[in-house]
Every structure is written in structure tokens, then in C-alpha cells.
Amino acid sequence: MESQDLKRAGLKATLPRLKILKFLEESKQRHMSAEEVYKALLEAGDEVGLATIYRVLTQFESAGLVTRHHFDEGHSVFELNLGEHHDHIVCVRCGRVDEFVDEIIEERQHRIAEEKGYEMTDHALYIYGICPDCRKTQGRGPRTQGRGKAN
């Protein structure tokens, strides 16, 4: 039961928060904008106000339940925190997102922060490119899976 997850995170188990958390857990897409969560819940008949979606996602972020990303779009993208930290490689053609972890890069980042005298609090690495599928389909943007520019 998700209520426990919320309680543990220091949040009251309200209906909107439960709906949002449940949705994030069950969605096939791991990376979603507030708007996308809103629309998906709407379709599922679990409507939650958009303002609440934004508030709750921000609270989840503070509580460590989700991570907020800033891909080169213009809006925030959220992801449920499951296992470990990871970085992203994003298709500029269709919006597909793949994940990866590279210990060497992680380690270098720490060293760089140290060298510069910074106390590192966070870091974000985004690789942009054309995914395998889109490389085949040379023409304009192909299958608009995920969140493609083509919306």
C-alpha cells in the first residue's frame, strides 16, 4: 500500500497524492511532465487538478520520491526514484530517453568539483542524439513515441 510510502516520506496520505504515486509506479513511461501526468490521470478517470500535480510532484521531489529533470525542452520532467542515480541520453528526433550509469564519469565529476573547491550537491549529464530507430528512418521525425517535438 502506497500510503505507507507517503507516511514514511512525511506526507499525509491524501487521495491526490496516492493517485499520482500509484500512476508513476504503474506507468510504462518513466519520464513524464506534469502535464502528461495530468492528462493520463484525467483519461483514467482519476482527475487531479493541475496545480496539485505540480505541488505534489515538487513535494515528492523534496521528499526524495522523485527526481526532476531539465531536458533541453522548456519544462520539467519527473521520474520515480527506484534504484540508483543514473544519467540520460535523449533522442532529439522522437523524444526517446535511455538511461546509463558510468562510474568513471561519476568519479571524474567529484574530482572536478573538488579541484574547483566546490561542495557538490548535484549534477546532471544529458547526451543528445538520434536514437537507433530514428537513424534508420532518415526522413523527418518518425514514430512519435514518448514526448517528441512533433506534438
Q: Alpha-carbon distance 138 to 31, whole Å? A: 26
- In the bound complex, what is the minimum distance in angstroms from residue 144's beta carbon to DNA? 15
Q: Which does 25 bind (CB under 5 to 8 A by kind): Mn ion, a second copy, DNA, none?
A: none
Q: Which of 96, 97, 117, 128 binds Zn ion (CB under 5 A)?
A: 96
Instruction: At 127, list the grid cell.
Output: 547526451
Q: For residues 63 and 11, is the Cβ–Cβ distance under 8 A?
A: yes
Give whichever of 57 and 131 is closer to Zn ion, judged by the CB atom: 131
Give whichever of 3 and 76 is closer to a second copy, judged by the CB atom: 76
- In the bound complex, what is the minimum distance in angstroms from residue 79's beta carbon to Mn ion? 5
Q: Alpha-carbon distance 138 to 118, whole Å? A: 43
- In the bound complex, what is the minimum distance in angstroms from residue 95's beta carbon to a second copy? 13
Q: Alpha-carbon distance 141 to 151, whole Å? A: 11
Cα angle 108, 73, 51 (rounded to 5 degrees) comes to 110
- In the bound complex, what is the minimum distance in angstroms from residue 148's beta carbon to DNA? 12
Stretch touching Mn ion by CB under 5 A, among 19-27, 95-103, 131-139, 140-148: 95-103
For residue 45, the Cα-to-chain-centroid distance in whole angstroms is 23
> Which positions ≥6 away from 74 have C-beta within 8 Å?
none
Question: Residue 85 interacts with a second copy (CB under 8 A)?
Answer: no
Binding site for Mn ion (CB under 5 A): 79, 99
